Amino acid sequence: MTKLTYKKFRQIKSEIRILGIDDSVFTPRTKGKADLIGVVCRGGQWLDGIMRTKVEIDGLDATEKIAKMIKNSPHYAQIRVIMLDGITYAGFNIVDIKELYAKTLLPVITVTREEPSLEDIRKALKNLPYYEKRWKIVKNTGETFKVQTREGEEPVHVQVAGISQSDAEKILKKTSTRSNIPEALRVAHIIASGLAQTKEKE
Amino acid sequence: MTKLTYKKFRQIKSEIRILGIDDSVFTPRTKGKADLIGVVCRGGQWLDGIMRTKVEIDGLDATEKIAKMIKNSPHYAQIRVIMLDGITYAGFNIVDIKELYAKTLLPVITVTREEPSLEDIRKALKNLPYYEKRWKIVKNTGETFKVQTREGEEPVHVQVAGISQSDAEKILKKTSTRSNIPEALRVAHIIASGLAQTKEKE
């Protein structure tokens, strides 16, 4: 059994630095790479920095590439939490959030609008090489719980590594300032999809 | 004589959509292109969208490429003002701000921390082809004036097209929320330089 450890937050500052990561648009089930964009936001407010990496479509390198991007960044020392848009990037390049926490020593919170369906993921993984390896990571991710980030809006679905559910909930509520999605993930999505849309026009 | 026209702002909303444009890092005096990043901010607050184009280093296509980027963008109808980091992009690819206003029907405000030196620009242009054409645009840009965007901080140097100095001043003060540079330009700089820094690591 692995020992469960996590960072405890005595106090959550309103300017806590969050890194939100999203992927750009890519053509599914092709060979190639997709851009991942990381955005550093201070709390739910302003943009502090940006970083980028590339991962293989349906590959196995997302955890390693994200950890490397973060540790190579000048913002590494300031970042307190990593937020992911679910655990699958660039198709089914799955992030092992426990390993990402171990590699960066930063707690990881995944946020999705839809409840992730383990059964749907398992079916999709069956068509890919290294099924067993991928499925093991998915199963190891831990339970999903709901957080209502804003009053009167739909709750989001959350998974965590390296942080308690209660601290994650507090951080999500504090940083979801413009929508029910935390600002770092909202901005990462705008930048990643905006850059992709203009790519073909160059 | 050209007729001086400009947009009048009856009221400047705190969520006025501003497009800020900055260029990414490039190798000066080489052949090639540099990325320009355009960022749509609501007032001095949140990021609404992003766009991108490429212009030739020391080329003559900045005005046309920026106008095209804006008019092709889904944000065009919402943008009220264009803000530029001075009139030279990608080296000495000069933006004709009067023409940019004419092409987009959006007022243009240029903002720099340092006072632009006409004499320095003229000397640099002497080493480039189409000197007369470039110098004519620079001279035609109009006078520079200072605006103290935030109390107790250094003023910025401003040029305008299609907007009165007084309206430009109001908009600059309203949108310089995190520093003495308006938020749309501050964020455009972070994104343009952040993307460039990670390029070599891919």
Task: Indicate the average pLDDT of chain B.
Answer: 92
Cross-chain Cβ contact A51/B191 below 8 Å: no
pLDDT in tens, B109-133: 999 999 988 899 999 999 999 999 9
- As for the ipTM of the complex, it is 0.86
| A86 φ/ψ angles, rounded to the nearest 5 degrees | 80, -175
**Smallest Cβ distance to A195: which of B48, B52, B183?**
B52
Task: State yes or no: pLDDT of B62 exceeds 70.
Answer: yes
Over residues A61-83, the mean pLDDT reads 97
Residue B21 pLDDT class (50, 70, 90 cuts): very high
Task: Convert the pLDDT of each residue in B63-89 to its tens digit.
Answer: 999 999 999 999 999 999 999 999 999
DSSP chain A: -PPP--B--S---TT-EEEEEEE----TTSSSEEEEEEEEEETTS-EEEEEEEEEETT-S-HHHHHHHHHHTSTTTTT--EEEESSSEETTTEE--HHHHHHHH---EEEEESSPP-HHHHHHHHTTSSSHHHHHHHHHHT---EEE--STTS--EEEEEESB-HHHHHHHHHHH--SSSS-HHHHHHHHHHHHHHHHHTT-
Alpha carbons B97 and B149: distance in angstroms, whole number: 21
Confidence (pLDDT) at B104: 97
- Looking at the complex, report in whole angstroms how far the Cα of residue A79 sits from the nearest Cα belonging to chain B: 16
Say whether A201 and B49 touch across the interface (CB within 8 A).
no
**Min CA distance, A157 vs chain B (Å)?**
24
Residues of A in contact with B50 (CB under 8 A): 190-191, 194-195
Report residue B8's pLDDT band, with 50, 70 and 90 as the boundaries: confident
- Which residues of chain B does A46 touch, with a Cβ-Cβ cutoff of 8 Å? 178, 183
Chain A residues within 8 angstroms (CB to CB) of chain B: 46-54, 69, 72, 178, 183, 187, 190-191, 194-195, 198-199, 201-202
Q: Please give the pLDDT value at position A10.
A: 85
Instruction: Say if the Cβ atoms of B50 and A202 lie within 8 Å.
Output: no
For the cut 90, the answer to whether the pLDDT of residue A161 exceeds it is: yes
Q: Is the dihedral of CA A65, A67, A68, A72 positive or negative?
A: positive
Assign a CATH topology to domain A17-196: archaeoglobus fulgidus dsm 4304 fold (3.30.2170)
Instruction: Look up residue B61 and give its two tokens.
Output: 């296509």
Residue A49 has pLDDT above 80, yes or no: yes
pTM of the model as a whole: 0.90
- Distance between A125 CA and the closest CA of chain B, angstroms: 27
Q: A53 contacts in B (CB within 8 Å)?
A: 198, 201-202
What is the nearest CA distance from A108 to chain B, expressed in angstroms?
Answer: 22
Answer yes or no: are the C-beta atoms of A188 and A37 closer than 8 Å: yes
In B, minimum Cα distance to A185 occurs at B47
